Structure 1
Amino acid sequence: MTNCPGGCTGITPHPQLTLYEEVIDPSGLANLKQQLREALSVVEAREQNLYESMRPKSLAEVKILQAHLKAALEDLEQTAQALAQKQEGKQEG
């Protein structure tokens, strides 16, 4: 078994994030909540950057994605028709 920092997710714990087991007073809990809010804000910003980086950057990329989507929709339509025919066959028999 491999020992991975961050549980093999590629995410390492924030170095200044206090472990909740160590928090024993209300001010410590408030501090922990603020640290968690800040860490979540960082994660959400990274997530937004990732989503933006994955969006098509050119008309050519958009056209390629549209072609893939069209093919996927056609495949789904064929699957739906085959399933409908199969279901009709069971109802008749």
Structure 2
Amino acid sequence: MSFRSPKPALSRSPHRQMMAIEPGDNDKLKELEGLLTLDGTKFRYFTGVSRPELVCPDSYVLDQYYLDLPGRKAAQVALLLDYRTNPPQYPVGKPG
């Protein structure tokens, strides 16, 4: 089974790109929402898996069921947009 990212532009460096998205950037927000579709959920389950036939479909279908409940995608997008505030809180360099 071969699976491709629903939005290749975000999949190359998702963390850095998420940090650059502004809350009012509707095009980028649509890309983020694309990661929360069934295709995006499958992408997360199958990326880097050497034996995709061992991935139980129940797992990603159940995850998607809960993502599709009212208000869940908006909450996930809000968390993804808030990610940019996290890295600056960590010290640079070696601890101690």
Greater helix proportion: 1
Greater RCO (CA < 8 Å, at least 6 residues apart) = 2
Which of the five TM-score ranges fits, normalised by the shorter chain? under 0.3
Q: Tell me the TM-score normalized by structure 1.
A: 0.27
Greater radius of gyration (CA): 1
